[in-house]
Amino acid sequence: MIKKFLCILAQVLGLILTAMPVGMASTSSYYLDSSRLELQVAPATGTASGVVKVSSNSNRPIRLKVIPKLWHLSEQGVLVYDDPPQAGYNLLENTGINPEEFELLPGKSRLVRFIVKTPPDAVNAEYPFQLYFQPTSLLEPEARKANGNVSNILDVVPVFTTTVYVYKGNPQPTPKVESFRCGYLPEKRQFLVNLGLSNSGAKHARLFGNIVLSHKSASGASQILDVLHMQNSTLLIVFPGMKRTVENLLESAKVSKPEPGNYQMELSLVDERNLQPAIQSTCEFTVPGTP
């Protein structure tokens, strides 16, 4: 029985390998040594510079083009690439990259250097952008011709980015909880948290959110039941002058079905860089009894 199974498996694998396009066994990928850089502007020059190391783990050359892009996060936390401004300071026109385009040989690395010039009249400011490493060619013309000019699966190479924050002066975030609503959804056995944030500072906020879930007795005494983590313990980023809305459905390993009564959630938002004290907010909700 085992020999018959192995024989069938070998035949199936043989068919799959026969059907694979020429070049599909090769790999095309690369990686960056930095996914995020935070750079300080030198007062004497008004510029900030950085370096990203790009390395290949491919068995064929990859040609890459480095494109600077402006970006922000929407109120829902979605990354949005911005068009260059029509007037005033344009970061893209004040960013130099060397090299802007290059060929990355198999198993080799390249250093990409860049420099950003900031406005002379800026005092405390943040300038965020991304370096977008875009593959421009993967298969040589001869290889494409041999494949009938049909792209195979490995023509799709992941695009990697390095997020850069350039700081001039000493900008600081000023996050604030605008709204905090909570409740329990018995049909899902989950706790609903709706959070509204703002940031009136000059620097983006990077926040971790923890929630202490407590039961409140008739006398007003609180009993801690569990600690919940917003966004699965990932960061909440709020850009300067913008708002952020977060809605989470949280599960508790200790309280899957709370008893009827009054409950309280104590929210604590801590900046990843410890730039300001934790922000606190409280929400209360009731789990009704069975009709």
Summarize pLDDT for 79-112 with one digit per residue, the tens: 999 999 989 999 999 999 999 999 999 999 999 9
- Tell me, yes or no, whether 243 lies in a domain: yes
Same domain, 98 and 40: yes
Does residue 120 sit in helix, strand or coil?
A: coil
- Tell me, yes or no, whether 15 lies in a domain: no
> What's the chain's average pLDDT?
86
Confirm if 104 and 137 have CB atoms less than 8 A apart: no
Same domain, 89 and 114: yes
Q: Which of 168, 195, 226 is the last residue of a domain?
A: 168
Q: Which of 168, 193, 213 is the last residue of a domain?
A: 168
Give the range of the structural domain holding residue 104, as residue numbers without chain letter. Answer: 27-168
Q: What pLDDT, on the 0 to 100 scale, is given for residue 215?
A: 96
- What does each C-alpha distance from 33 to 37, 56, 109, 163, 205 come to in angstroms? 10, 11, 10, 12, 24
- Tell me, yes or no, whether 14 lies in a domain: no
Task: State the CB neighbour count (10 A cutoff) for residue 107.
Answer: 10
Same domain, 49 and 154: yes
Q: Tell me the mean pLDDT in the region 114-140.
A: 89
Q: Tell me the mean pLDDT in the region 199-203.
A: 97
Provide the whole-model pTM: 0.81
Same domain, 204 and 113: no
Q: Tell me the mean pLDDT in the region 260-264.
A: 95
Q: CA–CA separation, 4 vs 79, rounded Å?
A: 52
Tally the domains of the chain.
2
- Tell me, yes or no, whether 32 lies in a domain: yes
Numbers of helices and strands, H then E, in the chain: 2, 18
* pLDDT class of 28 with cuts at 50, 70, 90: low
User: What are 233's strand-pairing partners?
Assistant: none
Q: In this structure, what DSSP letter does residue 92 have? A: G
Please, what's the b/e burial string for 129-161 (b: 16 or more CB within 10 A of its CB; e: otherwise)?
bbbbbebeebbeeeebeebeeeebebbebeebb
Q: Tell me the mean pLDDT in the region 223-232.
A: 92
37: domain CATH number? 2.60.40.10
Q: Tell me the mean pLDDT in the region 256-283.
A: 94
Q: CA–CA separation, 261 vs 76, rounded Å?
A: 32
